[in-house]
């Protein structure tokens, strides 16, 4: 089973080597790593070119990270597609083997796992742990979502439901998972372990203003799919993060 991993980059030289190394050391025998660069002006592309496992590398102007992800999905030839950001890493060499094993069950169309936020300058220092838990449709209405860097999808799912909505600046991943899991009710599988470490400090959480913008986009994600959240759903979503600081 071929697993395609898409990494969108832009001036990522400070972190991209960690990402590349974490994929290079995977023990799964059939990996297609696709780098989609937004025409970086630093040495991001030069660093990526030093890793022979990289199957495809594009460097051209794009319309943002979700546009880059869409380019990667279109270029992917794997049976299963995952997205690993340019400042994230897989926690060990068996991650993609475990993903491939989950998809040996033909009824599994998507899968996800747990994630740890770590300090930007110390990947061993855990800031908080996102323990996803088993999927339940009703949980989405109580602010739940799986961590997108752990979310893997069969290629034909994207062919059926479409790509990321680039009109959304910060919530396109949320909208995509809402579309797949709730609107189309596609079956998913939970792997109850941490598989990704993410450097702390996301765009949607960078400021109170950004959080308000993210909340508006989350609301739009439901509307785009013809779905109606509970009145408290989108307020519960950031509140659920509090428990992540209690888990190490």
Question: What does the pLDDT look like over 101-129, one tens digit per residue?
Answer: 999 999 999 999 999 999 999 999 999 99
Confidence of residue 205 (pLDDT cuts 50, 70, 90): very low
pLDDT of 245 > 80? The answer is no
In the chain, which ranges are E strands?
Answer: 3-9, 31-37, 54-59, 80-83, 88-90, 110-119, 122-130, 152-154, 188-199
131-142 confidence digits (pLDDT tens): 999 999 999 999
Cα separation, 232 vs 234, whole angstroms: 6
Cα separation, 81 vs 162, whole angstroms: 14
Q: What is the mean pLDDT of residues 195-224?
A: 78
As a whole-number percent, the residues of the chain with pLDDT over 70 amount to 93
| Residue 32 near residue 59, CB atoms below 8 Å | no
Going by C-alpha positions, the residue among 170, 173, 189, 193 that lies closest to residue 115 is 193
Q: What is the mean pLDDT of residues 197-220?
A: 73
Q: What is the mean pLDDT of the chain?
A: 93
Domain 3-246 homologous superfamily, CATH: Spore Coat Polysaccharide Biosynthesis Protein SpsA; Chain A (3.90.550.10)
Q: What is the mean pLDDT of residues 152-160?
A: 98
Q: What is the mean pLDDT of residues 76-84?
A: 98
Please name the helix (run of DSSP H) or strand (run of DSSP E) that holds residue 47, with its range, or none: helix 44-48
Confidence of residue 202 (pLDDT cuts 50, 70, 90): low
Confidence of residue 204 (pLDDT cuts 50, 70, 90): very low
pLDDT of residue 239: 75
Q: Is 207 exposed, middle or buried, given 0-12, 13-18 or 19+ CB atoms closer than 10 A? A: exposed
Cα separation, 170 vs 46, whole angstroms: 28
Q: What is the mean pLDDT of residues 177-184?
A: 97
pLDDT of 211 > 80? The answer is no
């Amino acid at each position: 089973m071929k697993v395609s991993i898409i990494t969108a980059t832009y001036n990522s030289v400070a972190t991209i080597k960690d990402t590349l190394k974490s994929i290079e050391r995977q023990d799964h025998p059939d990996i297609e790593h696709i780098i989609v660069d937004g025409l970086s002006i630093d040495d991001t592309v030069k660093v990526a070119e030093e890793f022979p496992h990289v199957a495809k590398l594009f460097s051209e102007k794009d319309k943002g990270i979700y546009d880059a992800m869409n380019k990667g999905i279109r270029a992917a030839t794997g049976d299963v597609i995952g997205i690993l950001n340019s400042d994230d890493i897989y926690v060990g060499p068996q991650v993609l083997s475990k993903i491939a094993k989950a998809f040996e069950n033909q009824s599994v169309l998507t899968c996800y796992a747990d994630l740890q936020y770590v300090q930007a300058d110390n990947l061993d220092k855990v800031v908080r742990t996102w323990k996803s838990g088993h999927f339940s449709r009703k949980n989405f209405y109580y602010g739940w979502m799986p961590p997108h860097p752990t979310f893997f999808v069969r290629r034909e799912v994207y062919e059926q439901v479409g790509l990321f909505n680039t009109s959304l600046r910060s919530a396109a991943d949320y909208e995509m998972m809402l579309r797949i899991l709730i609107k189309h009710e596609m079956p998913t599988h939970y792997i109850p372990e941490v598989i990704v470490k993410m450097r702390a400090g996301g765009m949607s959480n960078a400021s109170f203003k950004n959080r308000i913008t993210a909340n508006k986009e989350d609301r739009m994600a439901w509307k785009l799919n013809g779905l109606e959240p509970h009145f408290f759903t989108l307020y519960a979503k950031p509140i659920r993060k509090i428990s992540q600081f209690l888990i190490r």
